[in-house]
Amino acid sequence: MSESTPSTESRSLQPSTGARIEIRGVRHSFGDVLVLDEFDLTVEPGEFLTLLGPSGSGKTTLLRIVGGLTIPDEGSVIVGGVDMTLLPARERGMGFVFQNYALFPHMTVQDNVAFPLQIRGISSDQIDRDVERALELVNLQGLGSRLPRELSGGQQQRVSLARALVFNPTVVLMDEPLGSLDKRLRQYLQNSIRLLQKEIGFTAVYVTHDQEEAFAMSDRIVVMHGGTVRQLGVPETVYRSPTEHFVADFVGDINEIEGVLRESGHGLIIEIAEGNTLVVPPYVSRSLGEGDRVLCGIRPEMVVIQEEPMGSPRLQATVELVSFHGNSYRILSRLRDGRRFIVESSSSLAAPAEGSTVWLHWDEEQTIVLIPPDGQP
């Protein structure tokens, strides 16, 4: 491992091969609260993987276990083929960017970033070169002599990032590193982190409860709930083909319509309101049959608003509220059965008038079909 064998060779921030992380059968409780249950996950070398889940779902606990800040009750953490389950954090050679893993307040930016190199016994000439390069990478050159309190929040976050990367770690762990920043700065730093990660090649495990941030940054996303993996996949798949109701609802707005399976001449179809029928997608459980209920989810941006009834499926609705969001309109409407239905349409199109009657049309292939959450075999 690089941290236990400090070298005086060139240690500039150069492409490094990220390490594979294997989390096997990890269980962890605090008191009698089970926080992680039989957790299995493999992060591929050089992958950017995000743990996404609501507050309390176990994201930080899992990240701390990978980083060696918490020892799990059961299971193992293998990094680059080495079982690190019991190894202390400082011997794992990982970079950390944690929201509460603050900069040393009395040390300059230069000294903060140099710290991981100093504890590794790197020569001072080399440290100067590496720190300069790390600050350049996060666009903070020239600010080395400032104290953390003389920097903005976003600049401090970038110093943390430089400190996490300066020693060429093969794994970088980030827990809500952009949590307290405004949207613009968040987006800027999301891009910086992703570009740096692609350039350097470390394996990244990133924690957020913001689904847009997870989508924007990740190769793959793990949706967590109650200490278990609910879905693991590339962002597009998690968004377009959620495997369960919790995931569908957590990763974005979704309109839900009840459907019933019916036997037609050509096999099963889904019957929904107003005489519409939908094809049964292949992923819907084969154990379902005639009369079984399903939940049909339609993302707001998949819907086209029409003034006249055209195409199928389509539902009649009354427009209740139109709000302008710059690049889109969000249209709150109400279906004939009284349910709310949200539509998001490009602001390059005319918005419907509030109070008007419209027809909502979508491509039936875009329907997300789920088994209802109240459980049906």
Ligand X SMILES: Nc1ncnc2c1ncn2[C@@H]1O[C@H](COP(=O)(O)OP(=O)(O)OP(=O)(O)O)[C@@H](O)[C@H]1O
Shortest distance (Å) from residue 30 CB to ligand X:
3
Beta-bridge mates of residue 271: 260, 277
Q: At closest approach, how far in Å is the CB of 229 from ligand X?
A: 13
The site that binds ligand X (CB under 6 A) totals a number of residues, namely 12
CA nearest neighbour of 300 among 274, 332, 327, 268: 332
Residues 6-35 that bind ligand X (CB under 6 A): 30, 33, 35
Nearest to ligand X of 170, 231 (CB atom): 231
Residue 55 partner contact from ligand X, Mg ion, none using kind-dependent CB cut-offs of 5 to 8 Å: ligand X
Q: Regarding beta strands 95-98 and 255-264, do their DSSP bridges make them parallel or antiparallel, or are they unpaired? A: unpaired
Residues 242 and 298: their CA atoms lie apart, in Å, by: 12
- Rule CB under 5 A: say whether 60 interacts with Mg ion: yes
Query: Where does this chain touch Mg ion (CB under 5 A) — which range of 59-67, 178-186, 250-258, 266-274?
Result: 59-67
59 binds ligand X (CB under 6 A): yes
User: CA 327 to CA 346: how far, in whole Å?
Assistant: 6
Neighbours of 145 (CB within 10 A): 10
- Tell me if 57 contacts ligand X by CB under 6 A: yes
Residues from 180 through 219 that contact ligand X (CB under 6 A): 209
Give the residue from 285, 271, 295 showing the smallest Cα distance to 377: 285
Q: How far is the CB of 68 from ligand X (least distance, A)?
A: 15
Q: How far is the CB of 151 from ligand X (least distance, A)?
A: 25
Which H helix or E strand runs over 195? helix 183-200
Site for Mg ion contains 50 (CB under 5 A): no
191 is written with which tokens?
Answer: 């891009």
Does the protein bind Mg ion through residue 243 (CB under 5 A)?
no
70 near Mg ion (CB under 5 A)? no
Which residues are within 8 A (CB) of 196 and not within 5 positions of it... i.e. 6 or more apart? 137, 138, 161, 165
Residue whose CB is nearest to Mg ion in the complex, by number: 60
Separation in Å, CA 165 to CA 92, 224, 264 = 14, 27, 60
**Minimal distance in Å, beta carbon 208 to ligand X?**
8
Residues binding ligand X (CB under 6 A) = 30, 33, 35, 53, 55-61, 209
Binding site for Mg ion (CB under 5 A): 60
